[in-house]
Amino acid sequence: MKRVGIVGARGYTGRELIRILLKHPAVRLTYLAATLDDPQPISRIFPEFVGQTDLACEKFTLTRAVKQCDLVFLALPHTVSLSVVPKLMARRLKVIDLSADYRIRNCGTYERWYHKAHTDLLNLKRSVYGLPELYRERIKKAVLVANPGCYPTAAILGCAPVLAAGCVDPKDIVIDAKSGVSGAGKKATLDYSLAELEGNFKGYKFAAHQHAPEIDQELTKLAASKVGVVFCPHLLPVSRGIFETIYLRMTKNMSLEKVHDLYRKFYKGETFVRVKPLGESPELKHVNQTNYCDIGLAMDASRRLLIVASAEDNLIKGASGQAVQNMNLMIGSPETTALL
Ligand SMILES: NC(=O)c1ccc[n+]([C@@H]2O[C@H](COP(=O)([O-])OP(=O)(O)OC[C@H]3O[C@@H](n4cnc5c(N)ncnc54)[C@H](OP(=O)(O)O)[C@@H]3O)[C@@H](O)[C@H]2O)c1
């Protein structure tokens, strides 16, 4: 049994991690932490856990984390992980970080988008980008996993087969993304209130969202040349789920059937990526509360435009489910444990 802790356990992704880990047969949840001053039973904070665990959530301290855990999930806001990871790594704990702090390879890019200098180059070099479908073998040996962002997961999985095969123009990619509000964490601001959201739909941070450099970095690796991506996120009036419509310009004369075949082959054997039959679109209702990313394909043949639809639950395949998928690889459990 591995002893596992969560720092940031009172947040949205922390809550999902608790739910998934409580049904995992090879791990024991031994430590929950957040910012609160006095410990409180997690079942009082989240009553759905009454009868499932007596564990208390307490203020994070390094001593307690090291004493209680073999592996720690950090479900902390961006830039906070940066001060916690080096301490945990120095005490030889394995870490899965859900923030962006160890995802961006270039420190200048990190500083530009997250407004803080990267102060932990040693661990940045050791970290592995936690997208199992692309980096499975490296994740198995990792001591620090940078769990991907929610928007980037859907975008990368949606583009990977055609970019890797070199049959689309890497300089001409448009990602039209929509997310439910839990993507922003448990913020209590006017923008996220029911009165503002209900019956509404809006875009935000067009070509200026902090996930753009992460998408850029990973798509560039796949294409083996610098990509040109326009990333436009929108806020859906629903609590969870991400749907991205991605437009890619074909450079090879391929039928939609051939492209579909390419996607099916690329994801053959992958439990958590489901390529839809032609003519069917993914839907949030089919992926929410699951660790699946569903991908649908269409083509405007006259303009050689490939249209990819990619959908996932932002809190599961886009965060906590994928983090557990990574943990399974790191501890040698079957990859799907507690996720189906
Ligand atoms: N939400 C998503 O869909 C999603 C998807 C992918 C990745 N992520 C990333 O995952 C991370 C967590 O996101 P979230 O949505 O779960 O955020 P959240 O709901 O805002 O929760 C953040 C948690 O971090 C805790 N915290 C903040 N500062 C802390 C500190 N110094 N020490 C200990 N705990 C601290 C908070 O404690 P209190 O409860 O005490 O305030 C809270 O429990 C973020 O980096 C986010 O970008 C989120």
Token pair, residue 290, equals: 């699951």
CA distances from 63 to 66, 69, 88, 91 (A): 5, 10, 10, 10
Q: Is the distance from the beta carbon of residue 75 to the nearest atom of ligand 1 less than 6 Å? A: yes
pLDDT at 73: 98
Catalytic residue numbers? 150
Sheet with 40-41: strands ordered across: 40-41, 56-59, 27-34, 2-7, 71-74, 94-97, 144-146, 128-129
Q: Is the distance from the beta carbon of residue 139 to the nearest atom of ligand 1 less than 6 Å? A: no
Tell me which residue of 131, 143, 41 sits closest to 322, measured CA to CA.
131
pLDDT at 292: 99
Q: Measured between alpha carbons, how far is 62 from 46 in angstroms, rounded to an integer?
A: 24
Task: Specify whether the CB–CB gap between 236 and 201 falls below 8 A.
Answer: yes
Distance 111 CA to ligand 1 centre (A): 20
Q: Is the distance from the beta carbon of residue 325 to the nearest atom of ligand 1 less than 6 Å? A: no
Residue located nearest, by CA, to atom 34 of ligand 1 = 34
pLDDT at 191: 86
Phi, psi of 149 (to 5 degrees): -70, 165
Tell me which residue of 147, 148, 139, 144 sits closest to 330, measured CA to CA.
139
Give the N- to C-terminal CA distance of the chain in Å, as an integer.
20
Per-residue tens of pLDDT for the chain, all 340 residues: 999 999 999 999 999 999 999 999 999 999 999 999 999 999 999 999 999 999 999 999 999 999 999 999 999 999 999 999 999 999 999 999 999 999 999 999 999 999 999 999 999 999 999 999 999 999 999 999 999 999 999 999 999 999 999 999 999 999 999 999 999 999 878 988 999 999 999 999 999 999 999 999 999 999 999 999 999 999 999 999 999 999 999 999 999 999 999 999 999 999 999 999 999 999 999 999 999 999 999 999 999 999 999 999 999 999 999 999 999 999 999 999 999 9
Q: Measured between alpha carbons, how far is 312 from 151 in angstroms, rounded to an integer?
A: 9
Beta strand extents in the chain (DSSP E only): 2-7, 27-34, 40-41, 56-59, 71-74, 94-97, 128-129, 144-146, 168-179, 202-203, 229-235, 242-250, 273-275, 293-300, 305-312
Q: Is the distance from the beta carbon of residue 80 to the nearest atom of ligand 1 less than 6 Å? A: yes
Distance 187 CA to ligand 1 centre (A): 10
Return the amino acid letter for 51: G
Q: For residue 319, give the ligand 1 atom closest to its CA.
A: 6
Whether the full predicted model's pTM is greater than 0.95, yes or no, is yes
Pocket test for ligand 1, best of 6, 13, 60 (most atoms within 8 A of CB): 13
Distance 7 CA to ligand 1 centre (A): 9
Distance 315 CA to ligand 1 centre (A): 12
